[in-house]
Amino acid sequence: MAHLLGGIEAGGTKFVCAVGDEKGQVTQRVKFPTTTPEETMKQVFEFFDQYQVEAIGIGSFGPIDIDPQSATYGYITDTPKLAWKNYNFLGAMKNRYQIPFEWTTDVNVAAYGEHKLGAGVGKNNILYVTVGTGIGVGYISHGQLYRGRSHPEGGHILLHREDGDNFAGVCPYHGDCLEGIAAGPAIEKRTGKKGYELAPTDACWQTEAYYLAQACMTYTLTFSPDMIIFGGGVMKQQQLFPMIRTKFLELMNDYVRVADLDHYIVPVRLGDDAGITGSLLAAADVLEK
């Protein structure tokens, strides 16, 4: 029987809210910019007040607190978006709607969407990386949203710098962490142009591919996923994929082999819908429990 479900993909730049079903089919959706909690949540409520959804899956930008034992469970914690720092997002939702919620990261729901309906169908351990305004990492482990003490924040790992690359990086916390040297704003700072203004043959893509390949190496040697799926604005540069694969092979140098590289490092299949689709599917799961 079809359930009416809700999904929220709460990104640092924009919110997407949707209603749909347990197959991840969206029937209604709205999109609006992420401003302040007051303004933005008003729009969230206006949307969901129109429907009798049975559960909502929330994938939020972070870092967020996902530990049910914690006093700040459901909060956005240390975000550089100051208006949202220490905001009790899940609490506000639960206050308004007395239904079950899934509460996880925006990248985790995207990973889940890809696992269930996208590039990762049939694989149980799916690492999803978005390379956009920031770099976020979501992980599905044995078919479940991964959580440890908290959720992965794999966009901020430090890397071996490429010979001759002295770019200082733009991460406000770490300078030249992965996000600081390889997300969209880093490309812009490095080249003076937006990523989509650069030719596919621009030398900066070699550097970009080197760092993303190295990130793939780190994720492979830690999580050991079945597949690494890349999404986000920067990854619309399709020429990056073969470059990343080649550099990944060189870096790994045959230590831990990956069977079929062309199906190991792949682009997102659901495109910009991965996150909202995953939110609906996650809502369906909490309803079942």
Binding site for ligand ADP (CB under 6 A): 11, 13, 132-133, 184-185, 194-196, 232-234, 236-237
CB of 157 to Zn ion, least distance (A): 8
Q: Is 250 in the site for Zn ion (CB under 5 A)?
A: no
> What are residue 32's phi and psi, to 5 degrees?
-155, 160
Residue 57 or 184: which CB sits closer to ligand ADP?
184
Q: Is 153 in the site for its own copies (CB under 8 A)?
A: yes
Amino acid at position 255, single letter: Y
CB of 117 to its own copies, least distance (A): 21
Amino acid at position 270, single letter: L
Q: Is 24 in the site for its own copies (CB under 8 A)?
A: no
| Exposure string over 135-152, b if 16+ CB within 10 A, otherwise e | bbbbbbbeeebbeeeebb
Query: Footprint of its own copies on residues 35-64 (CB under 8 A)?
Result: 63
Which pair of structure tokens corresponds to residue 120?
């990762």
CA distances from 226 to 49, 114, 128, 137, 208 (A): 40, 13, 11, 15, 23
Residue 47 or 223: which CB sits closer to its own copies?
223
Residue 162 or 188: which CB sits closer to ligand ADP?
188
Q: Is 253 in the site for its own copies (CB under 8 A)?
A: yes
Measured from each CB, the residue nearest to ligand ADP is 184
Q: Is 210 in the site for its own copies (CB under 8 A)?
A: no
Query: Footprint of Zn ion on residues 174-193 (CB under 5 A)?
Result: 174, 177, 179
Q: Of the candidates 132, 152, 184, 231, which one interacts with its own copies according to CB under 8 A? A: 152
Q: What is the dihedral of CA 287, 100, 117, 145, to 10 degrees?
A: -110
Binding mask 157-186 for its own copies (x = CB under 8 A): xxxxx-----------xx-x----------
Which pair of structure tokens corresponds to residue 15?
């919110």
- Among candidate residues 153, 145, 106, 119, the one with its CA nearest the CA of residue 228: 119
Task: List helix spans (H) across the chain.
Answer: 37-48, 89-96, 106-117, 178-182, 184-191, 204-222, 240-252, 274-288
Residue 12 or 225: which CB sits closer to ligand ADP?
12
